[in-house]
C-alpha cells in the first residue's frame, strides 16, 4: 500500500485541507464564539487537545474493538460516546487540578462534544484507513488548523466591528464572506504542500 | 415556544421561514454544506436530515417524561445516533454509490446542531406527533436553503443539474464554485437576500 | 428518607440508561443483520461490474449473467506477491479444433495515492501487455465535484490504447498521442496519483503476466497464440507497406 507521510498529513490538515475551511466542520461554534480573540484562542486550544487525543482513542477503538467484533456499523454511536466520555473526564480532571486552567478552558469543554469537527476528524480517519501515526498527525493538525482559523477570524471580526456592513449581511452573512475569503487564501498554500 | 399547544400549520411556517434554522439561527450548516457542490448528494443528505430530525423528535418526545434530567444529553445523542445509523444502513443497501460519495458526512448528521436543538427546544416539551411535525418542518426549512445553494453551485461549477448537462459546451465551469469558498459565498449571498427582505417586511409592518 | 429517594433516583438513572442503550443497540443490530447480505451483494456486484468495465466487456444488468461470465471467462491469479491479476477470455472458442479461447485482456488491481487517501481501481491491460484498455475507479476519498470526478465514465474510458509513460494534459484536450490523457481541472494531486498508479502497472505488466503464465499452460498458450498472431499481422503489414 502507498503510504502518505505523517508530516505531510499534518501540514495538509493545518493548511491546505483545513477541516473548517474546506470541510465546513465546526461552523456552529465557529460563528458563535469567533467574536473575541481570547475566547477563540481558549476554544481553539480545547478543540486541538480533544481532537488530537480522541482521534487516537477512536483509532484504537476502531481497530482493536469494532473491527475484530464485526461491529463497524455501530461506529457512530461508539465514537460519539468515546468523545463525550473523554470530554467529561478532562473537565473533571481540570476542575480538580488547576483552577486557572479550568476558568480558561472549562467553559468551552461542554461545547466540544457537539462540535462536528471532532467527530468529523475521527470519521475521516476511519474512512481513509489511516494508520495510527497518520491518525495522530491528522487529529493534531486538524485541531491546530481549526484553532488557527478561529483565532484569525476573531482578529478580523474585531477590526470589522466599526465597519459599515449592509443590514441584511451583518452578523452571520459577513462572517461567512470573511470565512470564504480566508478559505481562498488557504487554497494558496496548496502549492507548498502536496501529499504524495 | 409559546405555552399554548402549538398548531401544525404554525409549526411548519416557523420551520420553513419565520424561524428558519439557517437564516435566523445560522445553525447546523456544517454537515451538509460540504456536499453542496453536487446537487444529488445534497438531496440525499437533506432527506437524511429530515428523516433524523423527524424521527428523533418523535421518539424523544415519547420518552420525555421518563428521561432523567441528569443524563438527558447523552440519551438524546444515543437516540439521534441510532436513527442516523438506520439511515446510513438504508442508503448503503439501496443507493450504494451515493453512500460511498457521502462518506463521513452521513455520520455527521449526529452532530448537526439542528437535530439536538429541536429535541431540546421542542420535543422535550411537546407531544410526539406535533414534535415530529416540528422536526420535519425544521429539516425541510434547512433543506430548501441547502438545496438552493447546491443548485447554484452545481449549475455554475459544473454546468449541470443532477449530473445532466444544462449549460452548453460554451460554458466555462467556475471551479471556485466547486471548491469550498464557493459554498461560503453562495450561502452568504442567500442569507443576505432573505434577511434583507425579512427586515424590509418588518419595517413595512410597522 | 431523603437518602432513600436519592438512591432510588440514582438507580433509576442507571437502569434507564441501560435499558435505552439495550433497546437502541438491539434495534440497530436487527436492522444491520437484515440488510447485511444486501450490502455485501451490492459491494461485490459493483466490484465485478467495474472489473468488466476495465476489460471493455459489455456489463450485464442481472446477477445471473454476471456470475456466469465470472465463472467461465474470468480467472484470478494471486501468485504475483502484493497484487491481484485477472485474465479475461473470450466466451466461446473461435477455433473449434483445439477449443482454445482467445485472451481478451488482463485486469490489474491498482492502488495509488490521491489528495486525501488511497485510490483503488481495476486497470485493464491489453493482451500484448503494452496498452491500457480502460480504468474503473472502485474506491477513493477525493473531493466531490473535483477529484471525485475520476469515477465518471469518460475518465476511465479515455485510456483505451494509451501506453506508458503517461502524461496528463488539460481537460478536454482529447489528445491523439498515445501517451497523453485528459486530466481534471482543479484536481492536480488526484490526477498525479492516478498517473503514477497507471505508469507503475504498465511497467510491471509484462513481468507479472510472464510470472502467472508459468503456472497455467492454457493461459500461456492463449498468450503466445496472441503474440504470434500479432507478430504475423505486423509482418504482413510491413510487407504490404513495402513497394
What residues in B contact C42, CB-CB < 8 Å? 92-93, 96
Domain extent for A38: 6-191
What residues in B contact C31, CB-CB < 8 Å? 85-86, 89
In-domain check, residue C15: no
In-domain check, residue C237: yes
Long-range contacts of C218-224 (CB under 8 A, 24+ apart): C218/C100, C219/C75, C219/C87, C219/C103, C221/C100, C222/C89, C222/C100, C222/C101, C222/C102, C222/C103, C223/C103, C223/C127
- Predicted confidence at residue A194, as pLDDT, reads 52
Residue C97 phi, psi (nearest 5): -65, -50
| Residue of A27, A115, A120 with shortest CB distance to B29 | A27
Residue C140 phi, psi (nearest 5): -165, 165
What residues in A contact C113, CB-CB < 8 Å? 2-4, 195-196
- Predicted confidence at residue A163, as pLDDT, reads 84
| Beta-carbon contacts of residue C216 (< 8 Å; ≥ 6 apart) | C77
Going by pLDDT thresholds of 50, 70 and 90, the confidence category of residue A166 is confident
Q: Which of C137, C133, C136, C115 is nearest to C125 (CA)?
A: C133
Burial of C1-13, coded b for 16+ CB within 10 Å and e otherwise, reads eeeeeeeeeeeee
In-domain check, residue B3: no
- Predicted confidence at residue B2, as pLDDT, reads 42
Q: What share of chain C is helix, strand, coil (3-state, %, to 5)?
A: 50, 20, 30
Which residues are C132's β-sheet partners? C125
Q: What share of chain B has pLDDT > 70, as a percent?
A: 96
In-domain check, residue A186: yes
Mean pLDDT of chain C: 86
Arithmetic mean of pLDDT, C8-37: 91
Query: A171: left (phi > 0), else alpha (psi -120 to 50), else beta?
Result: left
Chain-chain contact of C146 with B179 (C-beta, under 8 angstroms): yes
In-domain check, residue C3: no
- Predicted confidence at residue C95, as pLDDT, reads 65
> Using an 8 Å Cβ cutoff, are C167 and C196 in contact?
no
- Predicted confidence at residue C96, as pLDDT, reads 65
- Predicted confidence at residue C123, as pLDDT, reads 95
- Chain B, nearest residue to C43 by Cα: B96
Arithmetic mean of pLDDT, C13-40: 91
In-domain check, residue A1: no
Going by pLDDT thresholds of 50, 70 and 90, the confidence category of residue B198 is confident
- Predicted confidence at residue A186, as pLDDT, reads 87
- Predicted confidence at residue B102, as pLDDT, reads 86
What secondary structure does DSSP assign to C16-61, as a single string?
HHHHHHHHHHHHHHHHHHHHHHHHHHHHHHHHHHHHHHHTT----S
Chain-chain contact of B89 with C24 (C-beta, under 8 angstroms): no
Domain extent for C120: 49-241
Arithmetic mean of pLDDT, A154-159: 88
At residue B204, does pLDDT exceed 80?
no
Q: What share of chain B is helix, strand, coil (3-state, %, to 5)?
A: 75, 0, 25
B205 vs B150, residue with greater confidence: B150
- Predicted confidence at residue B45, as pLDDT, reads 93
Q: Which chains touch A (3 or more CB pairs under 8 A)?
A: B, C
In-domain check, residue B2: no
Residue C139 DSSP SS3: strand
Chain-chain contact of C113 with A2 (C-beta, under 8 angstroms): yes
Mean pLDDT of chain B: 86
* Residue whose entry in the numeric block shows the C-alpha cell 491500457: C132
- C-alpha C61/C-alpha A187 separation (Å) is 42
Going by pLDDT thresholds of 50, 70 and 90, the confidence category of residue B5 is low
Lowest mean pLDDT among A49-53, B68-72, C163-167: B68-72
| Beta-carbon contacts of residue B100 (< 8 Å; ≥ 6 apart) | C139
What residues in C contact B97, CB-CB < 8 Å? 46
Residue C70 CB neighbours (<10 A): 17
Question: ipTM score of the complex?
Answer: 0.85
Quote the DSSP letter at residue C92: S
- Predicted confidence at residue C98, as pLDDT, reads 67
In-domain check, residue B120: yes
Q: Which of A69, A73, A85 to mutate to test the interface with C (most CBs of C within 10 A)?
A: A73
pLDDT in tens, B103-131: 888 999 988 888 888 898 899 999 999 99
In-domain check, residue C178: yes
In-domain check, residue A196: no
| Residue of B26, B74, B199 with shortest CB distance to A168 | B199
Chain-chain contact of B191 with A123 (C-beta, under 8 angstroms): no
Going by pLDDT thresholds of 50, 70 and 90, the confidence category of residue B100 is confident
> Using an 8 Å Cβ cutoff, are A136 and A56 in contact?
yes
List strand residue ranges (DSSP E) for B55-186, in order. 160-161, 164-165
What residues in B contact C5, CB-CB < 8 Å? none
Mean pLDDT of chain A: 85
In-domain check, residue A122: yes
> Using an 8 Å Cβ cutoff, are C218 and C174 in contact?
no
List strand residue ranges (DSSP E) for chain A, in order. none
| Residue of B35, B79, B93 with shortest CB distance to C42 | B93
Domain extent for B23: 10-205
> Using an 8 Å Cβ cutoff, are B25 and B130 in contact?
no
Q: Which of C53, C36, C40 is nearest to C138 (CA)?
A: C53
Going by pLDDT thresholds of 50, 70 and 90, the confidence category of residue B15 is confident
pLDDT in tens, A79-89: 998 998 898 88
- Predicted confidence at residue B50, as pLDDT, reads 95
In-domain check, residue C175: yes
List strand residue ranges (DSSP E) for C127-230, in order. 132-139, 167-169, 180-182
Q: Which of B26, B86, B176, B202 to mutate to test the interface with A (most CBs of A within 10 A)?
A: B26
> Using an 8 Å Cβ cutoff, are A120 and B34 in contact?
no
Going by pLDDT thresholds of 50, 70 and 90, the confidence category of residue B137 is very high
> Using an 8 Å Cβ cutoff, are A118 and A44 in contact?
no
Going by pLDDT thresholds of 50, 70 and 90, the confidence category of residue A196 is very low
Which A residues, 25 through 84, put their C-beta within 8 Å of a C-beta on chain C?
Answer: 73-74, 77
* Residue whose entry in the numeric block shows the C-alpha cell 413595512: B204
Confirm or reject contact between C28 and chain A (CB < 8 A). yes
Number of A:B CB contacts under 8 A?
Answer: 131
Number of structural domains found in chain B = 1
Number of structural domains found in chain A = 1
Chain-chain contact of B178 with C27 (C-beta, under 8 angstroms): no
- C-alpha C129/C-alpha C219 separation (Å) is 14
- Predicted confidence at residue B56, as pLDDT, reads 95
At residue A195, does pLDDT exceed 50?
no
Residue B169 DSSP SS3: coil
pLDDT in tens, A171-191: 788 888 999 999 988 887 876
Amino acid at each position: 500500500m502507498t503510504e502518505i507521510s505523517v508530516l505531510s498529513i499534518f501540514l495538509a490538515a493545518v493548511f491546505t485541507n483545513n477541516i473548517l475551511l474546506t470541510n465546513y466542520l465546526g461552523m456552529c461554534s465557529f460563528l458563535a464564539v469567533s467574536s473575541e480573540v481570547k475566547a477563540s484562542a481558549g476554544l481553539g486550544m480545547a478543540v486541538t487537545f480533544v481532537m488530537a487525543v480522541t482521534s487516537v482513542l477512536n483509532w484504537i477503538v476502531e481497530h482493536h474493538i469494532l473491527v475484530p467484533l464485526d461491529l463497524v456499523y455501530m461506529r457512530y454511536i461508539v465514537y460519539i460516546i468515546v468523545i463525550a466520555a473523554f470530554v467529561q473526564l478532562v473537565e473533571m480532571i481540570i476542575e480538580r487540578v488547576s483552577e486557572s486552567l479550568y476558568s480558561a478552558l472549562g467553559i468551552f469543554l461542554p461545547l466540544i462534544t457537539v462540535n462536528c469537527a471532532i467527530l468529523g476528524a475521527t470519521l475521516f480517519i476511519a474512512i481513509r484507513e489511516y494508520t495510527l501515526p497518520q491518525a495522530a498527525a491528522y487529529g493534531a493538525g486538524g485541531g491546530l488548523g481549526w484553532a488557527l482559523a478561529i483565532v484569525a477570524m476573531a482578529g478580523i471580526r474585531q477590526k470589522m466591528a466599526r465597519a459599515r456592513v449592509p443590514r441584511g449581511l451583518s452578523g452571520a452573512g459577513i462572517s461567512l464572506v470573511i470565512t470564504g475569503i480566508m478559505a481562498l487564501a488557504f487554497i494558496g498554500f496548496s502549492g507548498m504542500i502536496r501529499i504524495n | 415556544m409559546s405555552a399554548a399547544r402549538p398548531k401544525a400549520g404554525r409549526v411548519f411556517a416557523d420551520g420553513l421561514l419565520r424561524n428558519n434554522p439557517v437564516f435566523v439561527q445560522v445553525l447546523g450548516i456544517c454537515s451538509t454544506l460540504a456536499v453542496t457542490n453536487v446537487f444529488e448528494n445534497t438531496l440525499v443528505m437533506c432527506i437524511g436530515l429530515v428523516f433524523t430530525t423527524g424521527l428523533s423528535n418523535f421518539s424523544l418526545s415519547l420518552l420525555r417524561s421518563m428521561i432523567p434530567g441528569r443524563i438527558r444529553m447523552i440519551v438524546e445523542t444515543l437516540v439521534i445516533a441510532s436513527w442516523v445509523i438506520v439511515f446510513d444502513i438504508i442508503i448503503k443497501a439501496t443507493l450504494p454509490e451515493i453512500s460511498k460519495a457521502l462518506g463521513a458526512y452521513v455520520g455527521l448528521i449526529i452532530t448537526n446542531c439542528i437535530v439536538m436543538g429541536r429535541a431540546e427546544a421542542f420535543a422535550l416539551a411537546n407531544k410526539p406527533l406535533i414534535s415530529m411535525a416540528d422536526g420535519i418542518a425544521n429539516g425541510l426549512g434547512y433543506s430548501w436553503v441547502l438545496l438552493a445553494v447546491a443548485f447554484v453551485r452545481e449549475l455554475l461549477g459544473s454546468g449541470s443539474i443532477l449530473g445532466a448537462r444544462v449549460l452548453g459546451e460554451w460554458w466555462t465551469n467556475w471551479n471556485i464554485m466547486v471548491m469550498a469558498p464557493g459554498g461560503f459565498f453562495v450561502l452568504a449571498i442567500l442569507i443576505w437576500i432573505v434577511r434583507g427582505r425579512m427586515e424590509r417586511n418588518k419595517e413595512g409592518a410597522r | 428518607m431523603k437518602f432513600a429517594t436519592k438512591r432510588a433516583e440514582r438507580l433509576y438513572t442507571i437502569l434507564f440508561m441501560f435499558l435505552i442503550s439495550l433497546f437502541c443497540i438491539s434495534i440497530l443490530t436487527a436492522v444491520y443483520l437484515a440488510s447485511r447480505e444486501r450490502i455485501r451483494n451490492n459491494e461485490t456486484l459493483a466490484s465485478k461490474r467495474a472489473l468488466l468495465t476495465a476489460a471493455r466487456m459489455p456489463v450485464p444488468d442481472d446477477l445471473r449473467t454476471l456470475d456466469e461470465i465470472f465463472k467461465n471467462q474470468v480467472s484470478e491469479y494471486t501468485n504475483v506477491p502484493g497484487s491481484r491479476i485477472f485474465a479475461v477470455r473470450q466466451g466461446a472458442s473461435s477455433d473449434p479444433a483445439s477449443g482454445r479461447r482467445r485472451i481478451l485482456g488482463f485486469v490489474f488491481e491498482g492502488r495509488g495515492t490521491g489528495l486525501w487517501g488511497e485510490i483503488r481501481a481495476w486497470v485493464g491491460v491489453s493482451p500484448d501487455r503494452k496498452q491500457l484498455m480502460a480504468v474503473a475507479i472502485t474506491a477513493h476519498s477525493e473531493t466531490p465535484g473535483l477529484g471525485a470526478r475520476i469515477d465518471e465514465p469518460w475518465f476511465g474510458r479515455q485510456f483505451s490504447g494509451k501506453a506508458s509513460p503517461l502524461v496528463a494534459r488539460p481537460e478536454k484536450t482529447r489528445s491523439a498521442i498515445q501517451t497523453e490523457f485528459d486530466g481534471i481541472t482543479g484536481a492536480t494531486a488526484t490526477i498525479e496519483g492516478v498517473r503514477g498508479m497507471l505508469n507503475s502497472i504498465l511497467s510491471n505488466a509484462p513481468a507479472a503476466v510472464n510470472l502467472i503464465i508459468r503456472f497455467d499452460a492454457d493461459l500461456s498458450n492463449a498468450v503466445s497464440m496472441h503474440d504470434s498472431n500479432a507478430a504475423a499481422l505486423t509482418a504482413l503489414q510491413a510487407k504490404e507497406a513495402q513497394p
